[in-house]
Amino acid sequence: MCTGINIGGREILSGRPAVMAIVNVTPDSFYSGSRTQEAEAIRERVMQAAAEGADIIDVGGYSSRPGADDVSAEEELRRVSQAVGIIREVLPDMPVSLDTFRSGVAAGVLDKFGACIVNDISAGELDPRIMDVAASFGVPYIAMHMRGTPADMQRRTQYGDIAAEVASYLASRAEAARRAGISQIILDPGFGFAKTTRQNYDLLAGMDSIVSLGYPVLAGVSRKSMIYKVLDITPAEALNGTTALHWECLRQGAAILRVHDVKAAVETVKLFGYYMSDETVR
**How many separate helices (H) and strands (E) can be counted in the chain?**
10, 10
Predicted pLDDT of residue 2: 46
Angle at 215 between CA 157 and CA 85, to 5 degrees: 90
Q: Is the residue at 5 inside a domain?
A: no
HSE-CB of 161 using CA atoms within 13 angstroms: 10
Nearest to 210 by CA among 175, 241, 169: 169
Report which of 249, 277, 280 is spatially closest to residue 19, judged by C-alpha positions: 249
Residue 121, domain extent = 15-272
Q: What pairing do the DSSP bridges indicate for beta strands 56-60 and 18-24? A: parallel
Angle at 193 between CA 45 and CA 159, to 5 degrees: 160
CATH number at residue 166: 3.20.20.20
Residue 170 lies in a domain: yes
Residue 197 lies in a domain: yes
Q: Is 137 helix (H, G, I), strand (E, B) or coil?
A: helix
Question: What string of pLDDT tens digits covers the 282 residues of the chain?
Answer: 346 799 988 898 878 999 999 999 887 554 455 456 688 989 999 999 999 999 999 999 987 766 556 789 999 999 999 999 999 999 999 999 999 999 999 999 999 999 999 999 999 999 999 999 999 999 999 999 998 777 777 777 899 999 999 999 999 999 999 999 999 999 999 999 999 999 999 999 999 999 999 999 999 999 999 999 999 999 999 999 999 999 999 999 999 999 999 999 999 999 999 999 976 554
CB 20 within 8 A of CB 265: no
Residue 223 in any domain: the answer is: yes
**How high is the pLDDT of residue 70?**
74
The answer to whether residue 68 sits within a structural domain is: yes
Q: State the catalytic residues.
A: 224, 258
Tally of domains in the chain: 1
